[in-house]
Amino acid sequence: LNKALTGVETSNYELEFETKSKETRYLLVNATTRRDAANNIVGVVGVAQDVTEATKHDRSVAAAAHELRQLVDTANAPIFGIDVHGNVNEWNNKTAEITGFSKVEAMDKPLVKTFIVDKLRQSVHVVLDEALKGLETSNYELEFRTKT
């Protein structure tokens, strides 16, 4: 509001406040400078939209995503993933422990070419290509190349 009093309009500012009944509400506020006929600032006009439910939903989704991220990262099984180009886009702590390659070292590298042992590259490539087409393979054994 102070910015609007100096002539700087503010849009989409999220305001968190507590109601008389101690309930937390969230408003999305736009504040516009109010001027008189001589163009002098005489106040502020605020327009607000109650976004409490959407904000609570967004925070709930973010919390769930955080929990899932922790589950993947700390799972006691190697979890890795690739994008449509075959480059690593997921590499959990157990995969890093087994291979010796950190997540930073593995990310965006071609999985098969970089981390799969030579003798299995062709078959792993086929399995991953099939998976990218939606054809799943269960219990496929593969062998990672390790850093040491």
Tell me the pLDDT band of 2, cut-offs 50, 70 and 90.
low
Reduced to 3 states (helix: H, G, I; strand: E, B; else coil), residue 111 is: helix
Tell me the pLDDT band of 34, cut-offs 50, 70 and 90.
confident
- The DSSP secondary structure of 50-90, one letter per residue, reads E-HHHHHHHHHHHHHHHHHHHHHHH-SS--EEE-TTSBEEE
pLDDT of 57-114, one tens digit each? 999 999 999 999 999 999 999 999 999 999 999 999 999 999 999 999 999 999 999 9
Cα distance between residue 88 and residue 138, in whole Å: 20
Cα distance between residue 50 and residue 55, in whole Å: 9
- pTM (2 decimals)? 0.67
Tally of residues, the chain: 148
Cα distance between residue 47 and residue 33, in whole Å: 12
In terms of pLDDT, which residue wins out, 33 or 133? 133
The pair phi, psi for residue 63, each rounded to 5°, is -65, -40
pLDDT of 5: 63
pLDDT of 39-70, one tens digit each? 888 888 888 999 999 999 999 999 999 999 99
Burial class of 111 by CB neighbour count within 10 A (0 to 12, 13 to 18, 19+): buried
